[in-house]
Amino acid sequence: MARTSPGTSLRRRTLYPAAFALVLAVGVLGPPPPGAAAEPAPPGGVERFYDNEGISDDSEPDGADLDGDGRSLSAQTLAAAGWGPGDAVTLHGTELRMPDTRPGEPDNAVADGQRVRLSGAVRAVTFLAAATGGDATGTGKVVYRDGSEEYSVTTPDWETGSLATKAVALPYANTPDGPTGEQVRLYAVTVPVDPDRKPTGIELPSIEGGARMHVFDLGVRKEQRDWTGTWSASTSGYAEVGPWEDQTVRLAVRTGAGGPDTRLHLDNVFAAEPVEIGAVTVALRDEGPAAVQRPVPVAFDGERSAVIPAGGRLTSDPIGFALSDAAELLVSIHLPGRVEAAPVHTAATGTSYAGEPGTDLSGEADGSGFTRTFESWPFLAGIDTAGGTGSVVALGDSITDGVGSTDGADRRWPDVLTDRLLDQNRVPRYGVLNQGISANRVVTDRYDGDGVSSDTGGVSALNRLDRDVFAQTGARTVVVFQGINDVRWGTGADEVAAGLRTIAERSREHGLRVVAATIAPCGGYPDCSAEVDGRRTEVNAFIRENSGPGGLFDAVLDFDEVLRDPDDPTRLLPEYDSGDHLHPGDAGLRAVAHSVDLRLLVPDES
């Protein structure tokens, strides 16, 4: 099955244990003798390799030539997106920076085997890049003290590449004759690294054919053993909101594992412009939008206010807020500017609140000013707790997202699994990160990844892996429970199986344990025909046959067997059915969570 997203694969599959810290230095490395590591290079950045001018000023549109035909990125559109010279943007859990150059100066390196020095325990390397002349596919090497390992990478074309996986889309490019009027894109492309092998460098890929890969920056992601993800939500689309202006939104969430400190992640995924954050606070919830006590302010690099670039992520400083297990929190975000659309997670199983406009209510414990309600989580993408043992990521669709469960009662199967983990000491008390999106599919996008849309079914599981799984704080294991929406909408069983295979292989390359769950039956739902059930059964057979030690999947969770009616295996057991014959209700979701052998969630190195 062809992959349309930027991605990487290692030619030899290896399990990558966790990393602890890193130091990055960059420079040209000469070829090492056989069996030896590369010689150290002078410190520096990827800018030492710049050999192409790719950004021009609108007043001099012929001042750069990214693609060989005189076309280039516009400095003005980049700045409008929050991607100006020297600006930082976090993508795939990696901080990257735009070139701190003037338009018309060299600002990117055309990838051709250059070697960049690495040291310390690096978990992944991310390129901020774009391809010209078509999608750029090539191979490079990660260099270790004990040898090297080849990787392959594809960077989408800046004009025709997938919007679903873009880092940012810009409204036009510059040409000698002026702006084109057609969108262009930049991408984040991530290569997994084995930190235990002590990486010393990475070789930029040598590109096949006539395409070119332009690298504007290179950053590293480290494993964060000092933080555990305790709550998360996937951005399912970019939807109309409010509009909100000088207004505070207050989001109610329930976390999992606690710890001595807390930090937040805010996302501006899929956006075309930056968003200003005026103030953020955290408080324990009392009832509704009311807090137990005055909310605690949150800082970003020491400042109360911040700006999230288009497509980027913002991570707070440690808040100094001790978090108990299974805490009920209120996260308040004051938005001083006008916000008409936002990255959201819909199908939230609870109520969010909007305050009266014209004032910052983020610091108020009294919830009386929050007079409006809505049912989504905008901007808030994750909550971490200090310390802990790592996280399990639940990658799924509406069943994982909790459709069919009691609203506001935290009875989704990942919530019940969280409670089980907290109430035992046999295995690590992992955080459980719910990355379910209602209507989501494995291999096709519901939302195309660009612009305001009423469809918030998200980009495909394949296209959100880097953001929603690999970059999650403390991720140790991924549980994949998807496919029913694919087979219901006509995707062949072989295509779904190929998509699950890609998820498993890429997850392994990023050091994760991979557990697959079989697809539950949906007989009685209007579009769940015998043909659909046949495709579902084929996918389940593939999962079962390829699970276990040495298999594609490390383990299988047979949710199909748990939920189906023994008298009619094409349907949910009546007492587990929410009533629509597709989504399990509270009892079914509880049965699913209690069927999980917790030992299957533990990576081998634990």
Q: Left (φ > 0), alpha (ψ -120 to 50) or beta: where does 104 sit? A: left
For residue 70, CA distances in Å to 66, 176, 218, 420 come to: 7, 6, 25, 60
Amino acid at 53: E
Helix (H, G, I), strand (E, B) or coil at 418: helix
Q: State the pLDDT confidence band at 119, using cuts at 50, 70 and 90.
A: confident
Mean pLDDT of all residues in 166-170: 98
Predicted local confidence at residue 536, as pLDDT? 98
Helix (H, G, I), strand (E, B) or coil at 497: helix
Q: Where are the beta strands (DSSP E) in 287-407?
A: 296-297, 306-308, 313-315, 328-346, 352-354, 372-374, 376-378, 380-386, 391-396
Predicted local confidence at residue 347, as pLDDT? 77
Q: pLDDT over 70 for what percent of the chain?
A: 92
For residue 584, CA distances in Å to 211, 216, 417 come to: 48, 47, 15
Residue 323 pairs in a beta bridge with 259
**Is CATH 3.40.50.300 what the domain over 389-606 is classified as, yes or no?**
no
Q: Where are the alpha helices (DSSP H) in 478-606?
A: 484-488, 493-509, 530-545, 559-563, 586-595
For residue 420, CA distances in Å to 393, 416, 532 come to: 15, 6, 33
Predicted local confidence at residue 30, as pLDDT? 38
Tell me the pLDDT tens digit for each residue of 402-428: 999 999 999 999 999 999 999 999 999
β-bridge pairing 475-481 and 513-517: parallel
Compute how many other C-beta atoms are within 10 angstroms of the C-beta atom of residue 498.
18
pLDDT at residue 1 above 60? Answer: no
**∠ CA 331-337-339, rounded to 5°:** 75
Tell me the pLDDT tens digit for each residue of 170-208: 999 999 999 998 999 999 999 999 988 989 999 999 999
β-bridge pairing 184-192 and 166-170: antiparallel
Predicted local confidence at residue 223, as pLDDT? 75
Looking up tokens 């998200």 gives 458
Predicted local confidence at residue 196, as pLDDT? 87
The domain limits of the chain are 7-221, 240-379, 389-606
Tell me the pLDDT tens digit for each residue of 540-586: 999 999 999 999 999 999 999 999 999 999 999 999 999 999 999 99
Tell me the pLDDT tens digit for each residue of 198-231: 899 999 999 999 999 999 999 999 877 899 999 9
Helix (H, G, I), strand (E, B) or coil at 56: strand
> Could you tell me how far CA 143 lies from the centroid of its own chain?
26
Tell me the pLDDT tens digit for each residue of 9-38: 443 333 222 322 222 333 333 344 434 444
pTM of the model: 0.92
Predicted local confidence at residue 394, as pLDDT? 98
For residue 22, CA distances in Å to 120, 123, 286, 391 come to: 4, 9, 41, 21
pLDDT at residue 499 above 50? Answer: yes
Chain-wide mean pLDDT for the chain?
Answer: 92
Q: pLDDT over 90 for what percent of the chain?
A: 88
pLDDT at residue 73 above 50? Answer: yes
Distance between CA 328 and CA 318 in Å, rounded?
19
Distance between CA 226 and CA 395 in Å, rounded?
23
Q: State the pLDDT confidence band at 350, using cuts at 50, 70 and 90.
A: confident
Compute how many other C-beta atoms are within 10 angstroms of the C-beta atom of residue 136.
29
pLDDT at residue 429 above 90? Answer: yes
Predicted local confidence at residue 605, as pLDDT? 67
